[in-house]
């Protein structure tokens, strides 16, 4: 049956266009229930025995939630206890428009077999479709559609000639009007909270309920603590008139009474507005989009250097004395310094709340069910939650979601989502780390896995016909030890002409991952593989990453090859790209490849190929450095993990070999060659990577550090910086050059992906290359898959698709990839930090030599080269009078009593783990040498021999 809807719309040119929408109604949409004998359905979702222990609904029943219940109580619906739920198409469509994250979670539940969630297409069912009546709002029409569908279900199940004794349908809604109308039409209807509280067999579900507006007043005091937020209409008018500005709220890690609002200006211009004090912060939470009103200039303040953590017992809504003192301390310390534009938050444009990881502070009041939750991220305020299982949750890492922040409440109100496990345990901490850095790490869904090739997989004759057969070439791969996701392989051979042929062969991942399918969407969302200590979170399923795409030795694999003809001076004479089939002759580690090159008795084809590559790589590197490419330094740490306990038993910095550099040179060359090719073919939609030059002020610390040792550094161009770093030497201080390069790395900007049609500056500062992209790691980076697709279209090896040529979509994709890459780097650092803590936990107190990297007002930051570890030595103590400190920003130098500290000074420190705050464990450092009376500590005894023996086994 066909329904059609006709309406007219005005066009841009002023004409009128008639639009006819056709809406098909069908008789073959089944109810999905096991008890039904009327519907001709092949498979069912909803169970016959839909029982759950409830003192409201003692009979078997299916649940139909309305849209608001799904949006606000998704945490409850996700609980394994809640099953046999009918999700109406009306609800699904509304949720999709209102919240993408909730929609994804809902879709996942519908796909999960054990949940028995059934999506019923009520909008296309002949008996449940309703038209909007004149004068009826869209919202009211949708509420009516939900009631009509619920009514149809209860009648439909009654008429089933089966033993459906007593199977009923329960509608859940928190809308009073909707509930009343449902009751009038004879439906079984409850408020969500009523229903959840009735499930006497599962009282823990109550903790997961999000607070409704009625409850929010219970928890708060009567006293108004914060100014009212302005409504959106006033905010928009204020932004338009210039009275307010819109920006992103960025809370401070070190000071809970201070934040900045980042305001994006036109082009590259952006400004920051300082916010200080609880009233002015006005309930904004990190990453919210807020409206800010600037204060008059005489009320502007300077950023505070005071560290203030919101710790200890709950600061009650009535007790403001302590906070007033803390706010005063901010202003006193800020009076002398430079003032910054300062403002106050007047309204919230968009909340950016997510579930937060952290721990519960158990209330001191006996039998209390209200407790404060402290998030792991210090930028998030503490959250007040209600729970009856506090004693169980003490000492566990848990997740909590914010429900709201009323103006009467000192803290936001929230609800318990789930427990992650005991704090301090490796698996728990790893889970926290992934969640806090927003790293997608759930198992791949069935929808994604369904697009994997069927095993056993072989290369078909059709594949061979479309590719170049390079199986006879002496191709080999060189990777770190234990690498299973081998993206790249190389070959080098002499041609009859006397020139050399060099090939870089990259796994052909885009052959397996086709545009737009579930596996492609998942990889695009993940953006990158994340490498933690002892764990890898793959971007693509393991069958591809470690097997079919991995260029392992002695198996035939599909590749995308970039092949150059070069002379012996490493000058490129010809470049070509081709899809190919290869058979790698060896998978080597960097050390094995190095040994082959150095062993003069070896002269086989693989070794000859490696020597040829190594020789050319040295020339390429020299040419690159002459152009001004930077060789910077950062200490990478390697843990030796105990095979049984999986705890770190040794920690050392990674050493790099010639072969690391050899592989790197050819990867860079391939990336540059491909970048040029895809940009020539697609000037508007090439996915490229750029590295902006740092603003001159970034180099201040580097220049000061060099000056303190009478060394001059030039930073006008990358070449000037590279040259001056090469000659920076200090007699008797061999490590000086490495320290300078480590500092120079800190001055750099982040490299980013971008779409060529949306930008004009392509330059890569660090590589001194006018154009660059990523082509060589498609197993672990999604950007490379896009680049493969562009290159394949450019050489007519594959067909194009609309999104690939859409610069707006490419640009949005690049933004997501930049975000995922940044978060993955932070997650990797956090993982190293956690494993470093585990290492020092078993070591007691160690003493080591280090160098001062930075000098602060009350501390020095020390780098321990042996462990690649940074730590802070504080000179002021909270509980006792500290030494006399004089800080000079020009140097920068710090006088502690009679001793002056400068950057790069050599010091000796003790290193130990401070586990007093289980959620924020830190590496503590104390000064041994130089000896400053009352400040430095005596050197600890070397660790006992027994412990050593145990670790050496």
What φ, ψ does residue 420 adopt, rounded to 5°? -105, -10
Q: Are residues 483 and 614 in the same domain?
A: yes
Chain centre distance of CA 546: 23
The C-alpha atoms of residue 640 and residue 282 are separated, in whole angstroms, by 48
Chain centre distance of CA 150: 40
What does the angle CA 670 – CA 673 – CA 679 come to, to the nearest 5 degrees? 130
Among residues 791, 825, 859, the one where a domain terminates is 825
Contact criterion met (CB below 8 Å) for 375 and 210: no
Instruction: Starting at the earlier edge strand, list the strands of the sheet with 117-120.
Output: 117-120, 85-88, 61-65, 168-172, 188-190
Residue 937 inside a domain? The answer is no
Residue 438 inside a domain? The answer is no
Average pLDDT, the chain: 85
For the record, the structure tokens of 397 come out as 């890492």
Residue 50 inside a domain? The answer is yes
Residue 223 inside a domain? The answer is no
The C-alpha atoms of residue 864 and residue 849 are separated, in whole angstroms, by 6
Enumerate residues 6+ apart whose C-beta is below 8 A from 19.
Answer: 6, 7, 8, 9
What φ, ψ does residue 640 adopt, rounded to 5°? -95, 120
Q: What is the structure's pLDDT at 57?
A: 86
**Mean pLDDT to the nearest integer, 613-622:** 94
Residue 940 inside a domain? The answer is no
> What CATH number corresponds to the domain at position 340?
2.40.50.690
Q: Are residues 170 and 152 in the same domain?
A: yes
The C-alpha atoms of residue 674 and residue 22 are separated, in whole angstroms, by 47
Q: At residue 345, does pLDDT exceed 80?
A: yes
Kindly indicate the confidence band of residue 257, based on its pLDDT and cuts at 50, 70 and 90: confident
The C-alpha atoms of residue 862 and residue 665 are separated, in whole angstroms, by 33
Chain centre distance of CA 363: 33
Q: Are residues 735 and 759 in the same domain?
A: no
Q: Are residues 18 and 111 in the same domain?
A: yes
Among residues 728, 748, 768, the one where a domain terminates is 748
Higher pLDDT, 306 or 759: 759
Residue with tokens 């296309």: 124
**Mean pLDDT to the nearest integer, 832-861:** 83
Q: What is the structure's pLDDT at 329?
A: 58
Q: Are residues 283 and 173 in the same domain?
A: no
Q: Are residues 258 and 355 in the same domain?
A: yes
The C-alpha atoms of residue 276 and residue 259 are separated, in whole angstroms, by 7
The C-alpha atoms of residue 196 and residue 208 are separated, in whole angstroms, by 10
Cβ-based burial of 90 (10 A; exposed 0-12, middle 13-18, buried ≥19): buried
Q: Are residues 247 and 292 in the same domain?
A: yes
Contact criterion met (CB below 8 Å) for 946 and 953: no
Pairing mode, if any, of strands 270-276 and 530-532? unpaired
The C-alpha atoms of residue 448 and residue 582 are separated, in whole angstroms, by 27
pLDDT in tens, 624-659: 888 888 877 666 656 666 556 566 656 656 666 788
Higher pLDDT, 699 or 311: 699
Residue 949 inside a domain? The answer is no
The range of the structural domain enclosing residue 921 comes to: 844-929
> What CATH number corresponds to the domain at position 893?
2.40.50.140
**Mean pLDDT to the nearest integer, 810-818:** 94
Kindly indicate the confidence band of residue 247, based on its pLDDT and cuts at 50, 70 and 90: very high
Q: What is the structure's pLDDT at 949?
A: 31
Q: Are residues 66 and 110 in the same domain?
A: yes
Maximum distance among all Cα pairs of the chain, rounded to whole angstroms: 96
The C-alpha atoms of residue 295 and residue 272 are separated, in whole angstroms, by 14
Could you give the number of structural domains in the chain? 5
Percent of the chain at pLDDT above 90?
40
Among residues 748, 769, 785, the one where a domain terminates is 748
Kindly indicate the confidence band of residue 948, based on its pLDDT and cuts at 50, 70 and 90: very low
What is the 3-state composition of the chain as percent helix, strand, coil, each rounded to the nearest 5?
35, 25, 40
Comparing 173-182, 592-601, 678-687, 699-708, the range with the smallest average pLDDT is: 699-708
Contact criterion met (CB below 8 Å) for 146 and 91: yes
Residue 308 inside a domain? The answer is no
Residue 298 inside a domain? The answer is yes
Comparing 156-160, 559-563, 947-951, the range with the smallest average pLDDT is: 947-951
What φ, ψ does residue 620 adopt, rounded to 5°? -60, -40
Q: Are residues 204 and 255 in the same domain?
A: no
Hey, what's the torsion of the CAs at 797, 801, 806, 812, to 10 degrees?
A: -100
Q: Are residues 711 and 670 in the same domain?
A: no
The C-alpha atoms of residue 836 and residue 653 are separated, in whole angstroms, by 12
The pTM score is 0.79
Q: What is the structure's pLDDT at 309?
A: 63
CA atoms within 13 A on the CB side of 319: 6
The secondary structure of 257-300 as a DSSP string is TEEEEEEE-STT-EEEEEEESHHHHTT--TT-EEEEEEPPGGG-
Q: Are residues 522 and 384 in the same domain?
A: no
The C-alpha atoms of residue 80 and residue 208 are separated, in whole angstroms, by 12
Q: Are residues 812 and 707 in the same domain?
A: no
Instruction: Starting at the earlier edge strand, list the strands of the sheet with 572-583.
Output: 468-469, 572-583, 556-566, 500-507, 488-494, 476-479, 586-589
CA atoms within 13 A on the CB side of 261: 31
pLDDT in tens, 725-783: 888 888 878 778 888 888 888 888 889 999 998 888 898 988 889 999 999 999 999 99
Pairing mode, if any, of strands 168-172 and 188-190? parallel
3-state secondary structure 432-470: HHHHHCCCCCCCCCHHHHCCCCCCCCCCCHHHHHCCEEC
């Amino acid at each position: 049956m066909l329904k059609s809807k006709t309406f007219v719309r005005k066009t841009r040119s002023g004409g009128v266009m008639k639009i006819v929408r056709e809406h098909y109604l069908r008789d073959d949409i089944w109810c999905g229930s096991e008890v039904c004998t009327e519907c001709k359905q092949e498979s069912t979702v909803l169970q016959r025995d839909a029982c759950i222990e409830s003192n409201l609904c003692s009979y078997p029943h299916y649940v139909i939630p309305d849209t608001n219940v799904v949006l606000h109580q998704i945490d409850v619906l996700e609980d394994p206890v809640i099953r046999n739920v009918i999700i109406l198409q009306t609800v699904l469509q509304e949720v999709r428009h209102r919240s993408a994250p909730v929609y994804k979670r809902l879709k996942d539940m519908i796909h999960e077999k054990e949940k028995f969630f059934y999506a019923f297409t009520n909008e296309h069912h002949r008996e449940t479709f309703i038209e909007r009546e004149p004068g009826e709002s869209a919202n009211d029409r949708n509420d009516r559609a939900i009631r009509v569908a619920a009514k149809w279900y209860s009648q439909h199940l009654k008429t089933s000639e089966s033993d459906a004794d007593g199977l009923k349908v329960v509608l859940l809604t928190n809308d009073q009007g909707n509930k009343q109308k449902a009751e009038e039409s004879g439906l079984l209807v409850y408020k969500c909270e009523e229903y959840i509280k009735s499930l006497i067999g599962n009282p823990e579900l109550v903790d997961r309920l999000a607070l409704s507006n009625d409850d929010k007043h219970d928890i708060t005091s009567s006293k108004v603590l914060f100014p009212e937020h302005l409504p959106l209409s006033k905010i928009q008018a204020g932004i338009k008139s210039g009275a307010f500005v819109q920006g992103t709220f960025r809370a401070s890690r070190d000071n809970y009474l201070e934040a900045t609002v980042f305001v994006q200006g036109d082009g590259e211009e952006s400004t920051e507005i300082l916010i200080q004090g609880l009233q002015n912060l006005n309930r904004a939470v990190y990453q919210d989009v807020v409206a800010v009103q600037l204060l008059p200039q005489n009320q502007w303040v300077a950023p505070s250097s005071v560290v203030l953590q919101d710790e200890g017992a709950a600061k009650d809504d009535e007790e403001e004395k302590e906070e007033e003192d803390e706010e005063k301390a901010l202003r006193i310390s800020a009076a002398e310094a430079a003032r910054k534009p300062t403002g106050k938050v007047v309204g919230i444009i968009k909340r950016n709340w997510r579930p937060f990881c952290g721990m519960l502070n158990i209330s001191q009041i006996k039998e209390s069910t209200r407790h404060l939750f402290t998030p792991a991220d210090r930028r998030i305020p503490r959250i007040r939650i209600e729970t009856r299982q506090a004693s169980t949750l003490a000492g566990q890492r848990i997740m909590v979601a914010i429900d709201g922040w009323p103006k009467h409440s000192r803290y936001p109100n929230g609800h318990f989502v789930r427990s992650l496990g005991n704090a301090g345990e490796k698996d728990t901490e790893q889970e926290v780390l992934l969640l806090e850095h927003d790293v997608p790490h759930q198992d791949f869904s069935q929808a994604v896995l369904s697009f994997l090739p069927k095993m056993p997989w072989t290369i078909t004759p059709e594949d061979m016909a479309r590719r170049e057969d390079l199986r006879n070439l002496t191709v080999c791969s060189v990777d770190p030890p234990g690498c299973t996701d081998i993206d790249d392989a190389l070959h080098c051979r002499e041609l009859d002409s006397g020139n050399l042929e060099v090939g870089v062969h990259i796994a052909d991942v885009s052959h397996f991952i086709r545009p737009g399918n579930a596996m492609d969407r998942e990889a695009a969302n993940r953006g990158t593989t994340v490498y933690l200590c002892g764990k890898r979170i793959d971007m693509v399923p393991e069958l591809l990453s470690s097997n079919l795409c991995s260029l392992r030795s002695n198996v035939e694999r599909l590749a995308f090859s970039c092949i150059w003809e070069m002379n012996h001076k490493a000058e490129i004479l010809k470049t070509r790209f081709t899809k190919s089939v290869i058979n790698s002759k060896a998978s080597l580690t960097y050390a094995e490849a190095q040994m082959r090159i150095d062993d003069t008795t070896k002269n086989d084809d693989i070794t000859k190929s490696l020597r040829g590559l190594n020789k050319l790589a040295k020339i390429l590197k020299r040419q690159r450095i002459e152009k001004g490419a930077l060789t910077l330094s950062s200490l990478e740490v390697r843990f030796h993990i105990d095979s049984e306990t999986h705890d770190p038993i040794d920690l050392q910095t990674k050493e790099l070999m010639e072969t690391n550099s050899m592989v790197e040179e050819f990867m860079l060359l391939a990336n540059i060659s491909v970048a040029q090719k895809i940009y020539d073919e697609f000037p508007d939609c090439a996915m490229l990577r750029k590295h902006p030059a740092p603003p001159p002020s970034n180099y201040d610390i580097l220049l000061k550090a060099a000056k303190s040792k009478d060394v001059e550094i030039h930073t006008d161009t990358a070449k000037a910086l590279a040259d001056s770093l090469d000659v920076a030497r200090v007699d008797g201080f061999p490590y000086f050059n490495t320290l300078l390069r480590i500092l120079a790395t800190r001055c750099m900007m982040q490299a980013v992906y971008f779409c060529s049609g949306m930008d004009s500056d392509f330059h890569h500062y660090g590589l001194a290359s006018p154009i660059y992209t990523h082509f060589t790691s498609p197993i672990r980076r999604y950007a490379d898959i896009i680049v493969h697709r562009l290159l394949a279209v450019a050489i007519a090896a594959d067909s194009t698709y609309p999104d690939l040529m859409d610069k707006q979509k490419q640009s949005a994709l690049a933004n997501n990839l930049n975000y995922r890459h940044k978060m993955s780097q932070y997650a990797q650092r956090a993982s190293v930090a956690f494993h470093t803590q585990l290492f020092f936990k078993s070591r007691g107190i160690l003493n080591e030599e280090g160098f001062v990297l930075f000098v602060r007002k009350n501390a020095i930051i020390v780098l321990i080269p042996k462990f690649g570890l940074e730590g802070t030595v504080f000179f002021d103590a909270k509980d006792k009078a500290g030494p006399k400190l004089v800080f000079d920003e020009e140097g920068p130098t710090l006088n502690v009593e009679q001793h002056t500290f400068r950057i790069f000074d050599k010091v000796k420190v003790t290193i130990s783990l401070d586990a007093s705050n289980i959620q924020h464990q830190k590496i503590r450092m104390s000064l041994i040498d130089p000896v400053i009376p009352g400040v430095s500590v005596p050197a600890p005894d070397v660790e006992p021999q027994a412990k050593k023996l145990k670790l050496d086994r």
